A and B are shown apart, each in its own frame.
Chain A
Amino acid sequence: MADPKEPSGSRSDAAKPPPTGPAADLADVWDALDALPRAKAGVDLAATTIQLVAAKLAGGTSARDPEPPWLVAWAFRLVIVAAALAAGWAVGRVTAPDQELHNLPLIEHLDLLQEAGSVAFLEVLTERMQAGDGQPQRWFRLMRDPQLLRSEARDFDEALERLRADVAAGDAPASLTRRQARVEQLPPAERDAIERSAETFAGLSRRGREDLETVAQRLADPTQGRLRDAARLWHVIVAGTPPLFRQDVIDMTPERRLEWLQRPAGSEWRSGLAGRGREDLRGADRRPPGPPERLSPDGPLPAEGLLRPDDRRRPGPPRPWQDRPGGDRPPPRFTPGPPPAADRPGVPAETPAPPR
């Protein structure tokens, strides 16, 4: 009694294998069931069914689909709206982790990327370095602790290497799965830090997130060596800024950063401290800048050393003062900052603190 239309004719009862499954369990009544008649559909069943489907496709209603009462119609609309809202919520819940995994390289390196700020800023800094304008004024103030600055440069390079690997891994499903597994294995403290970064990242504007992604792509690009040099230099300058001001420096616009870099160092951080309470001063770098002779670019750590820590012997671009006869000093515009304001009562600060 096998269905002749059934393509898998192996189930035909004609060549009967030993009964198994339901046939075996029904045993002696199985063959008796063969007496049940097979029905034939009416000749118009297929035609009317297709007509019904055609009516549905045309947007019409059939006699079998009476108009629902207004209450039912409104309830139906409400259900649709509620279902759409629920679906949106569910989709959001489902896709949010995926989006976070997609953005994980940016989230994990958010501090580094926000510090770099923008490609425009890094490009201008690169142009200034290449034009032989000399290092930014603030560079010299940082020379007092070369070991610390080298360490900062190494940390930057290591972080950049991790960023480059994460970006190169791409967004393939396997890559996202590995990212998720890696995050799940992190210690709780590191996971909390990533969650905080994710919240910060999510709070950025769309433009802000796109800018950070562009910075990440450029810094991860092996052909963008000059841009990375600029980012590294900027990183050590920020690291050399008193802790109390670092976030303010990072939050500056590219224009303000460039202008700030050209200002003489040594006074603004004290002026900034003057306006803050005792609690704010806790943990701040209270050391005044070193004496002028220690800020000389001829000190133990040449500028190029931090630009490329692994290749410090590489000659850098000629410095303006090197063209002058006997000139091994920075240009005249470099002047040591004034003595500490605390030592000169009544003298106003020369440079305001960076804006918040």
Chain B
Amino acid sequence: MATDSAAMSAAAARDRSTELMLRVRDGDVAAFADLVEFWQDRLVTLFLHQVGDHATAEDLAQETFMRVYRARNRYRPTAKFTTWVHTIANNVCSDLKQRSYRRRERGVPHSVSVSSSTIGLDQLAVAASGLMPARAADRGELQDLVRQAVAGLSERQRMAVLLAKFEHCSYEEIANAMGLSVPAVKSLLFRARDQLRGALTPYLEG
């Protein structure tokens, strides 16, 4: 118990989310509301770029919060809360993908794009070919181009890139959240960079 308390206090001092989560674990519902407020935009952003649909992203964020709440008694402040919630978010994405596959097997149409195949390299190629190096793309065009380039990544590559870019995660944190080794994460990011570079070359060279 003493070790637990020491770890708890150390973690609480360095991470507001951890502090809130510890209060949630102790039954403080108001702290859970604060936690949702604190994390909702971040999670919706993460999921939006994973699935490409805002409503689905919100559903996934809500599912993540529910899992966080259900698992509150198992939470231990031995790791950063951010890593813990990223792990849950990754699991939520994986579960969605599996459900999506099952729906497809049963012939149920699905509107959520969860893999590169649903975005399509064709769209990406069209978007890229329309951008000549000399042409100055406006903000909207650039945003579409990058979004489609990211959508062309595999799900795991995309999650690694999003955790790195939006959540400022280190290799170790990404590895922990995705259940991978650090070399595997480096490999994912290396291949993601090559693919993104290929898709964004016209713009990057400009």
Q: Are A and B bound to each other? A: yes
Residues of A participating in the B interface, judged by any CB pair closer than 8 Å:
1-3, 5-7, 11, 21-23, 25-30, 32-33, 35-42, 45-46, 48-50, 52-54, 56-57
Q: Which of B42, B147, B161 contacts A26 (CB 8 A)?
A: B161
Complex Cα distance, B165 from A25, in Å, reads 12
Are A5 and B197 interface neighbours, CB within 8 A?
Answer: no
Q: Which of B28-36, B86-94, B109-117 contacts A (4 or more CB under 8 A)?
A: B28-36
The complex places the Cα of A57 from the Cα of B42 at a distance, in Å, of 26
B170 touches A21 (CB 8 A): yes
8 A Cβ contacts from B37-65 to A: 37-38, 40-45, 48-49, 54, 57-58, 61-62, 65
- Inside 8 A of A32's CB, which chain B residues have their CB? 142, 146, 196, 200, 203-204
Which residues of chain B come closer than 8 Å to A30, judged between CB atoms? Answer: 165
Q: A25-B193, A29-B204 are in contact. Are A46 and B142 (CB under 8 A)?
A: no
Which residue on chain A has the smallest CB distance to residue B160?
Answer: A22
**A49 and B65: CB pair below 8 A?**
yes
How long is the Cα–Cα vector from A57 to B28 in the complex, in angstroms?
12
Given contacts A11-B168, A49-B65, A53-B66, contact A40 B42 (CB under 8 A): no
Q: Which 9 A-B pairs have the closest CB atoms?
A: A22-B164, A41-B40, A39-B45, A35-B146, A29-B196, A39-B48, A11-B168, A39-B44, A41-B44
- Smallest distance from the beta carbon of B180 to chain A beta carbons, Å? 13
Q: Given the complex, which residues of A lie within 8 Å of B37, measured CB to CB? A: 46
- Tell me, yes or no, whether B11 is within 8 Å of chain A by CB: no
Give the complex CA separation of A37 and B52 in angstroms.
11
Proximity bits, B100-130, A CB within 8 Å = 1, else 0: 0000000000000000000000000000000
Cα–Cα, bound, A54→B167 (Å): 29
Chain A's interface: helix, strand, loop or mixed, by majority?
Answer: helix
CB within 8 A of A29: which of B15, B170, B200? B200
What separation, in Å, do the CA atoms of A26 and B192 have in the docked complex? 8
CA A171 to CA B69, docked complex, whole Å: 37
Q: B165 contacts A36, CB within 8 Å?
A: yes
Q: Inside 8 A of B145's CB, which chain A residues have their CB? A: 35
Q: What is the distance, in angstroms, from A336's C-beta to the closest C-beta of chain B?
A: 66
Q: Is B98 an interface residue (CB 8 A)?
A: no
Judging by beta carbons under 8 Å apart, are A50 and B189 in contact? no
A11 and B169 CA atoms in complex are apart in Å by 10
Contact A35 B29 (CB under 8 A): no
Count of interface residues, chain B, beta-carbon cutoff 8 Å: 53
B32 adjacent to A50 (CB under 8 Å): yes
Q: How far is the CA of A199 from the CA of B143 in the complex (A)?
A: 73
Q: Which residues of A contact B142 (CB under 8 A)?
A: 32, 35
- Tell me if B's interface is mostly helix, strand, loop or mixed: helix
> Cβ of B66 and Cβ of A41 under 8 Å apart?
no
Choose among B58, B142, B143 the residue with the greatest number of A CB atoms under 10 Å from its CB.
Answer: B58
Which single member of A6, A35, A52 contacts B143 (CB below 8 Å)?
A35
Q: Which of A11, A25, A35 has the most CB of B within 10 A?
A: A35
Q: How far is the CA of A296 from the CA of B82 in the complex (A)?
A: 85
CA distance A37 to B44 in the complex (A): 11
B76 CB-CB contact with A under 8 Å: no
**Closest chain A CB from B43 CB (angstroms):** 8
Within 8 Å by CB of A57, from B29, B40, B169, B203, lies B29
Contact sample, A vs B, 9 pairs, CB 8 Å cutoff: A5-B42, A22-B170, A28-B204, A29-B197, A32-B196, A32-B203, A39-B54, A41-B41, A46-B37
Q: Are A28 and B197 in contact (CB under 8 A)?
A: yes
Q: Evaluate contact between A36 and B44: CB separation under 8 angstroms.
A: no
Indicate if the CB atoms of A45 and B58 lie closer than 8 Å.
yes
B139 to chain A: which residues have CB within 8 Å? 35
Smallest CB separation, B148 vs chain A (Å): 11
Asked if B36 and A38 sit within 8 Å, CB to CB, the answer is no
- Shortest Cβ distance from A7 into chain B, in angstroms? 5
Known A5-B41, A41-B44; further 11 A-B contacts with Cβ < 8 A: A22-B169, A23-B164, A32-B142, A33-B146, A35-B142, A35-B143, A45-B61, A46-B36, A50-B36, A53-B29, A56-B70
Structural contact, A54 and B29, CB atoms closer than 8 A: yes
Which B residues are CB-close (under 8 A) to A7? 15-16
- Which residues on the B side are within 8 Å of A2 (C-beta)? 168
* Chain A residue with the shortest CB-CB distance to B43: A41
Cβ of B23 within 8 Å of any chain A Cβ, yes or no, is no
Tell whether A3 pairs with B42 under 8 Å between CB atoms, given A21-B170, A22-B164, A57-B29.
Answer: yes
Q: Please, which residues of chain B bring their CB within 8 A of the CB of A3?
A: 41-42, 166-168
Look across to chain B and name the residue whose beta carbon is closest to the beta carbon of A27.
Answer: B193
Which of chain A's residues have a CB closer than 8 A to the CB of B36?
A: 45-46, 49-50
Question: By the criterion CB–CB under 8 Å, are B150 and A36 in contact?
Answer: yes
CA distance A23 to B167 in the complex (A): 12
Q: In the complex, are the beta carbons of A41 and B150 less than 8 A apart?
A: no
